[in-house]
Amino acid sequence: MPAKPHFAASVQSKKGRLYAVMQVKKDGTTKPVWRALGLPEGANKTKVNKAFREVVAQYEQEFWEEQERGGRPPADIPVYDYLVSYLKRVEPELQKNTIVSYRSMTNGKIRRYFQRRPQLTVGNLKPQDIQDFYQSLFADGVVANTVIHYHALLRRAFQQAFKEERIDANPFDRVGRPKKNKFHGENYTQEELLTLLHLARGDVIYPAILLAGAMGLRRSEALGVRWSRIDWEKRTVLLDTKIVEYRENGKKKVEPVEEMKNKSSRRTLPLPDPVVEMLQVQKEHREVYRKMFQGSYNAQYLDYVRHMEREDLNIVSEFLVMAATLLDIKAKMLLPKEVDEEGEEIDPRAELVMRLLEYKKYRLMADELADREDGALKHLYKPSTLPPEVAKYEPPVDLDKLLDGLTLAKLQRIFEQVMKRKEDKIDPIRSNFGTIHREPVSLEQKIGNVLLYARRKRRFSFRELLEGQPDKLEVVVTFLAVLELMKIGKIHLSQEETFGDMDIETLEQEGEEEELDLAQLGDFEG
């Protein structure tokens, strides 16, 4: 068996990314083979060397296996299996949200369609097979713009198969791409933009709205502006970072990416006067917070709160209560000492200690109940095994002995005592109340109704949702349904001001809704 080949290889950069370039000789001709390292320019040298060695070794392994097969990669690979291997190979070259989207399509409808048709392989896939797949997508309610994404992914993967000489031609080149749905966007007028800025003033998203409206930035660009990229003397900002959103394992994730879509997207723009003034105010607030909280100030605090708000409502609630308590204690410690009626100084930390002790009691009680629940499984109950004739036996009663010494006066006293006990048990007030009949309300059904309403409306107010409920019980169950949907990450609730109305928006992408398993929920009886 010949030894594994070794190629002349080097690290080169292209479009801000690093690649391993190997000089491979095939059919008497030396050609460069580029493989992404998954690292940007300027990355740590140790990481670059490690990635370089792994990529080169992987390609040598693939090259050797190909030579054992006669120099041509196999084409009898099922379509889904090939896409999985293809995505694994190109993952370092793509942005996180792109690769997640590709995997979602591959492991979703592509897997379900092609795994049922194992006879369709990379080598024998025909244009008609592709058209049949597109028709199945349309039948499932997938819109044309989304089908275009499937087309782009599959065509790209099969183009790689063509370059690898698995196939002689790309079958997707002979299939027309679905027509894109036309979108007619409208720009805000000056009056509309000023109205929007006026209404959003004081809100946490006001800076992003001003950046996007005054400078014509995309949402991802406005959210990706960093302090280090602002030149205060020249009054300019460098746009080289954007915020990407994607879903992974059913959860929404947000990450900054220092990689723009193309070279033109990475640009330096002048800052208008209103934007400069807004940024200066934001920077002043930032510095005030740093001085106020010193070492306890952490910019990740708000990021953690916003993240947990979508993940676990119980955790973020406990976190905010504790943070507010600590902040209140710190503020009181800076003020003059308070004294009680006896002239003793009041320690603001005493309340926190009391709460912690109370919390400890509840935890101990919860642990005790959990232990009892576990211990209950160890108790065994034996059913009665008495013979039926024994169970039915009743000892004879001697009435003469039983009634010996009984008089009418004794019977009267016994009767009066029994009647008095019965009267004492009657509540003189509640006994006059009528009977309240409780009708069960299905929490499962209410959650489903609220979710359907959210999918249809996309964004609506909490008051609007409650106005359609017929009674107080329905309002209560609707509120519980909203809390449950927030906990599982289906909707997001925000409130602009204290005691104000709350806005609800769905977190599900249109066309990617999933069915809920609510079988474990029972009826709520109010």
The least confident of 125-139, 383-397, 433-447 is: 433-447
pLDDT at residue number 372: 80
Assess whether 90 and 169 both reside in one domain: yes
The CATH number covering residue 85 comes to: 1.10.150.130
Is residue 148 located within the same domain as residue 241? no
- pLDDT computed for residue 526 by the predictor: 44
Compare 76 and 112 and report the one with higher pLDDT: 112
Percent over 90 (pLDDT), the chain: 4
**Residues 138, 232 share a domain:** no
Q: Give residue 258's pLDDT band: very low, low, confident or very high (50, 70, 90).
A: low
Asked if residue 155 and residue 76 are part of one domain, the reply reads yes
At 133, is the pLDDT very low, low, confident or very high (cuts 50, 70, 90)? very high
> Given pLDDT bands bounded at 50, 70 and 90, which one contains residue 358?
confident
pLDDT value for 184: 66
287, 323: one domain: no
Same domain for 202 and 284: yes
Of residues 340 and 50, more confidence is placed in 50
Whether residues 201 and 277 fall in one domain? yes
Of 492, 488, 467, residue with least CA distance to 478: 467
CA–CA gap between residue 136 and residue 130 (Å, rounded):
10
* Domain containing residue 285: CATH number: 1.10.443.10
Residue 483 placed within a domain: yes
Does a structural domain hold residue 514? yes
Last-in-domain residue among 250, 280, 297: 297
Q: How confident is the model at residue 524 (pLDDT cuts 50, 70, 90)?
A: very low
Q: Are residues 160 and 243 in the same domain?
A: no
Write out pLDDT tens, residues 90-111: 877 777 777 778 888 888 899 9
122, part of any domain: yes
pLDDT in tens, 483-507: 888 888 888 888 777 777 788 888 8
Residue 302 scores a pLDDT above 80: no
92 and 160 both lie in a single domain: yes
pLDDT for the residue numbered 518: 61
Enter the pTM of the model: 0.41
pLDDT confidence tier of residue 113, bands split at 50, 70 and 90: very high
pLDDT of residue 399: 75
Q: Do 160 and 202 fall into the same domain?
A: no
Total number of domains in the chain: 4
Long-range contacts of 382-385 (CB under 8 A, 24+ apart): none
**Considering the domain boundaries, does residue 351 fall inside one?**
no
Please state, rounded to an integer, the average pLDDT across all residues of the chain: 77
Residue 128 has a pLDDT of: 92
The CATH number of whichever domain residue 467 belongs to comes to 1.10.10.580
Quick check: is 151 in a domain? yes
Rounded CA separation 293/284 (Å):
14
Domain membership of residue 93 as a residue range? 72-174
Instruction: Verify that 234 and 313 share a domain, yes or no.
Output: no
CA angle 283/255/292 to nearest 5° reads: 30
* 3 state SS of 377: coil
Query: How far is residue 96's CA from residue 102's CA, in Å, rounded to a whole number?
Result: 10
Query: Is 55 inside a domain boundary?
Result: no
Whether 357 is covered by a domain: the verdict is no
Pair 242, 307 in one domain: no
Does residue 430 lie within any of the structural domains? no
| SS3 readout for 167-215 | CCCCHHHHCCCCCCCCCCCCCCCHHHHHHHHHHHCCCCCHHHHHHHHHH
Segment 352-367 mean pLDDT: 79
